Amino acid sequence: MNILWVSLYPPLPLDFGGPIGIYKRIKSIAQKHDIYLFYMEETLVNGHIAELQTFCKEVHPFCRTKKNIKILLEFLYLPYTAITRHNRQMEKEIIQCVNNKNISLINIEFPQMCINLRHIRSAYSRPIILHQHNIEWLRFQQMAQASSGIKKLLLYWESVKLKRFELNLESDCLIDYYTFLSSKDKDIFHSTFKVSETKTRLIPLGADEYEGETDLAHRGTNIIFCAAMDAQMNVEAALWFAKEILPIISKKIEHVKFFIVGREPQEEVKKLACENIIVSGTVESLDEYYRRADLIVIPLLHGGGVKVKLLEAIGRKKRIVTTSIGIEGTSFLPNIHIPVADEPVKFAELCVDVLLNPECYEEMYRQTFKLFKENFTWNAIGAMYLDMLEGLAKEGSDYEKLQNKD
């Protein structure tokens, strides 16, 4: 079957959790079906199109809309994160693709991208699936609660508009099925929008199992946080660790280095850079940094959904310390499978203990990896997503045949 796939950002480079999840699912589905990929990015970079074309039937990149008067006016009633991703040429080419390529279904990554499909329903009767990743309006609400001043007001207003935007998607009957990364997000969505259980699916994230990662010599000094540094919840996490936790660790372990690895770091993150804090910026691959890592930290204070950064670290058999938010939405239990702390001093103490006494945590991490292999590898997740899409495409085809017969 032919699948039109619409993404908030490109699947490459694999420099943080979102693209990794999208890339792995697309590549798995593309083994059996043709993918017509449409995506948005800040500025057009053609370096990865050739690789995407090796497994996608067509690749259509578009540039995110820059600030202008029209956006400022629409900002009064539409989410900023949606209107800056509205591209009239993308909208036009999506309709052309639907009309000319015998598309069986549309898969959308993130609700904001639905702004480019507002006129699609009149031309298209097959299933449209929205992969939520997390509850976007709730994520902005959480960021607003952690902010102050004008930033707090803007984030809260964005949250209100995103919630209303999603409500309109449901009332306009644009989306046929919703998928979620965690049961918690799925439950919040049901209680908020009163959507039928038959319209939702739980599809967790996955990660690869990497060979050879545990054979590397550890110096015991490199602490790494891998995340998109243009996302406020990750900026908050990096600042919290660097300012409140790292100084405590440095008093007990000499020559500790903290690597902040992720795309487009905001200015406040760049300012952290010093002798023992390295801010990498955008990288082509995380492999080099995972090889250096003696400890992976996930110091998130806010955020929803399952964290790819957690699963990636487990798949590489790395030592991990996280907050309770970092394991939220998974079956990993705090301090049973992964060391967890939500207070700076306790978080620092766990980091020090894991680095200085790794043998005390060997059995814990062994059980963590066992649970990961049983439930969170990309092979298992890819097969689950493929089964879902094929089932929904068949339902849509059967419904269309019934309508034509009538």
Top-confidence residue, 354 or 230: 354
**Domain spans of the chain?**
2-206+378-405, 213-375
Beta carbons of 342 and 366 less than 8 angstroms apart = no
**What mean pLDDT comes out for the span 138-166?**
92
> Residue 183: in which H helix or E strand, if any?
helix 183-193
Residue 30 has pLDDT above 80, yes or no: yes
- Given a cut of 90, whether residue 184 has pLDDT beyond it is no
pLDDT at site 304:
61
Separation of alpha carbons 58 and 12, rounded Å: 15
| Lowest mean pLDDT segment, chosen from 23-27, 159-163, 229-233 | 229-233
What count of residues does the chain have?
Answer: 406
Which pLDDT score, from 0 to 100, does residue 306 have? 61
pLDDT band at 101 (very low <50, low <70, confident <90, very high): very high
204-223 average pLDDT score: 68
Beta bridge pairs of residue 295: 223
Residue 404, pLDDT above cutoff 70: no
Given a contact cutoff of 8 angstroms between Cβ atoms, the answer to whether 269 and 260 are in contact is yes
The confidence score (pLDDT) of residue 282 equals: 80
In angstroms, rounded to a whole number, what is the distance separating the alpha carbons of residues 65 and 285? 27
How far is Cα 10 from Cα 91, in angstroms, rounded to an integer? 17
Among 17-31, 103-117, 199-213, 331-345, the minimum mean pLDDT is found in 199-213
Q: Which CATH number fits domain 213-375: 3.30.70.380, 3.30.450.40, 3.40.50.2000, 1.10.760.10?
A: 3.40.50.2000
**What pLDDT does residue 215 have?**
40
- Torsion sign over Cα 367, 28, 94, 16: positive
Residue environment code for 111-145, b if the CB has 16+ CB neighbours within 10 A, otherwise e: bbbbbbbeebeeebebbbbbbbbbbbbbbbbbbbe
| pLDDT bucket at 400, cuts 50 / 70 / 90 | low
CA–CA separation, 233 and 44 (whole Å): 25
Confidence band of 223 (pLDDT split at 50, 70, 90): very high
Q: What is the pLDDT of residues 333-355, one digit of tens each?
A: 999 999 999 999 999 999 999 99
Does 213-375 match 2-206+378-405 at the fold level?
Answer: yes
* Superfamily of 2-206+378-405 according to CATH: Glycogen Phosphorylase B; (3.40.50.2000)
Identity at 222, one-letter amino acid code: N
pLDDT exceeds cutoff 70 at 229? yes
Three-state secondary structure along 130-161? Answer: EECCCCHHHHHHHHHHCCCHHHHHHHHHHHHH
Eight-class DSSP state of 241: I
DSSP assignment letter at 339? -
For CA atoms 89, 91, 96, 98, the dihedral sign is positive
Tens digits of residue pLDDT in 251-308:
999 999 999 998 889 899 999 999 999 999 888 778 888 888 999 999 999 876 567 7
Only one residue has tokens 């702390």, namely: 341
Average pLDDT of the chain?
A: 88
